[in-house]
A = this chain, B = another copy of it.
């Protein structure tokens, strides 16, 4: 099998090139990394060219550029639009990385570094699958459009404008995305549901300036205490979100879906081991898989205020801050939820403080049936690429773009995930399994090849 042999022969080249990609610290959330973002965009454009794509463009946006390329030389054959992102999460806290986040390092069959799993490693799988198809078979068997953005980790702020402005150009028969995880090692997976994400920031101001906690303590509002008291009221005794109306529009999965989810080879023991907490802690009345995939959440992602250095400082600070987010499920509406969250927080805060509430980003949840024949092609390609049985899963993370594309173009969205849930996406020591990286290139190449007969 020419294609697979070719891919096997390039293992070392592929891995070295991925490392090159990973060394660019393209952290989209921090303005100081702007030059790295631009470098990463140019790197992606160059690799699209190497894969034989045409009309390559580094499209400027309000924030970070988007890279586009296409190959439309298979008349009568299906067209797929592949989406990924070249930006990464911040690497902090740096001291918790075993090897430096932007110096990719192999250990125990894994490649460690920021972006290995989310999403540079997975983007690279597609770049190399396309290149392999072209080099091993002379041409691409289908039409492809590739769109790699640089703002995914900051809420894809410009992506939708680009799509709207290029609606005709982006038309395709299916959307393919690799920014999710497999259910577990050895279980290649297609994701048919994602949670939505709203991200908020709150600033609470008590005294006009920091005050001495001896001279003033006991008579003045402490914004840290008030912030804590507000956060404490966001969940009830059953660990459900205590915001009125929050669950009103939550779609309940059918009994058949619940059964299918429960019968997946999902390993609670491994999940507990990955989490490593003394105990789990989720909404009462739901299995863990249901909590993660089918129920909305509210999480505190950051909190700060007052003195946080070494030793003691007896201060009552003027300000306290928190970053919060809600994960949403069908059929919750992000705009409506943002209003409910804001209204409830306003109601909870006492008149002794002022506050500023910001919605940093919103994103819709998504779930879709996997009845279109393209899903069978995908399952077969995964099983051929990995030599293992493949499954359909949902996921707790968010890719707002998938929902938007699905809503707009009404085409199937095929989410082929090559990460693993314990690969520390967004955390120190992020990594990707080399078995999944190499298996992914084969599976994706086989998938694209098989689509010629769709």
Give the interface of A toward B (CB within 8 A): 29-31, 89-90, 92-93, 96, 153-155, 181, 195, 197, 199, 205-222, 224-225, 227-229, 231-235, 271, 275-283, 288, 291-292, 295-297, 299-317, 320-323, 325, 327, 350-354, 360-361, 395-398, 421, 424-429
What are some 19 contacts across the A-B interface (CB < 8 A)?
A29-B311, A30-B310, A153-B312, A154-B312, A195-B214, A208-B275, A211-B427, A215-B421, A217-B299, A218-B292, A219-B292, A222-B299, A227-B228, A229-B235, A231-B232, A303-B305, A303-B308, A313-B323, A314-B325
Give Cα A308–Cα B219 distance, bound, in whole angstroms.
Answer: 29
The prevalent SS among residues of A at the interface is loop
* Most B Cβ at <10 Å: residue of A195, A205, A278: A278
Chain B residue numbers with a CB within 8 Å of A295 are: 218
Chain B residue numbers with a CB within 8 Å of A209 are: 96, 276, 424, 427-429
Known A299-B316, A426-B212: A231·B221 in contact at CB below 8 Å: no
Known A209-B429, A218-B282: A306·B300 in contact at CB below 8 Å: yes
Which 7 pairs from chain A and chain B are nearest by CB?
A208-B276, A214-B397, A232-B232, A302-B306, A228-B231, A29-B311, A210-B427
Query: When the two chains form their complex, are residues B304 and A303 in contact, meaning their CB atoms are under 8 A apart?
Result: yes
Q: How far is the CB of A107 from chain B (nearest CB, A)?
A: 16
Chain B residue numbers with a CB within 8 Å of A311 are: 29-30, 154, 360
Query: When the two chains form their complex, are residues A302 and B292 in contact, meaning their CB atoms are under 8 A apart?
Result: no
Query: When the two chains form their complex, are residues B278 and A351 in contact, meaning their CB atoms are under 8 A apart?
Result: yes
Give Cα A26–Cα B67 distance, bound, in whole angstroms.
Answer: 53
* Copies of this protein chain in the complex: 2
Q: How far is the CB of A102 from chain B (nearest CB, A)?
A: 17
Give Cα A235–Cα B225 distance, bound, in whole angstroms.
Answer: 9
Give Cα A4–Cα B282 distance, bound, in whole angstroms.
Answer: 73
* Most B Cβ at <10 Å: residue of A213, A288, A429: A213
Known A217-B297, A218-B283, A323-B312: A211·B275 in contact at CB below 8 Å: yes
Q: A209: nearest residue on chain B (CB-CB)?
A: B427
Other-chain residue from B199, B210, B303 in contact with A306 (beta carbon distance below 8 A) = B303
Chain B residue numbers with a CB within 8 Å of A429 are: 209
Chain B residue numbers with a CB within 8 Å of A291 are: 218-219
If A154-B311, A280-B352, A303-B303 are given as contacts, then 16 extra A-B residue pairs at C-beta distance below 8 Å, sorted by A number, are: A90-B313, A96-B209, A153-B313, A213-B426, A215-B396, A216-B421, A221-B280, A222-B281, A227-B228, A229-B232, A277-B352, A277-B353, A279-B351, A301-B315, A302-B305, A302-B308
Q: How far is the CB of A54 from chain B (nearest CB, A)?
A: 35
Query: When the two chains form their complex, are residues A288 and B219 in contact, meaning their CB atoms are under 8 A apart?
Result: yes
Q: A200: nearest residue on chain B (CB-CB)?
A: B312
Q: A293: nearest residue on chain B (CB-CB)?
A: B218
Q: A226: nearest residue on chain B (CB-CB)?
A: B281
Query: When the two chains form their complex, are residues A300 and B352 in contact, meaning their CB atoms are under 8 A apart?
Result: no
Chain B residue numbers with a CB within 8 Å of A216 are: 275, 292, 396, 421
Chain B residue numbers with a CB within 8 Å of A29 are: 309-313
Q: How far is the CB of A423 from chain B (nearest CB, A)?
A: 9
Q: A195: nearest residue on chain B (CB-CB)?
A: B214
Q: How far is the CB of A113 from chain B (nearest CB, A)?
A: 16
Q: How far is the CB of A452 from chain B (nearest CB, A)?
A: 34
Other-chain residue from B199, B219, B352 in contact with A312 (beta carbon distance below 8 A) = B199
Chain B residue numbers with a CB within 8 Å of A426 are: 210-213, 313-315
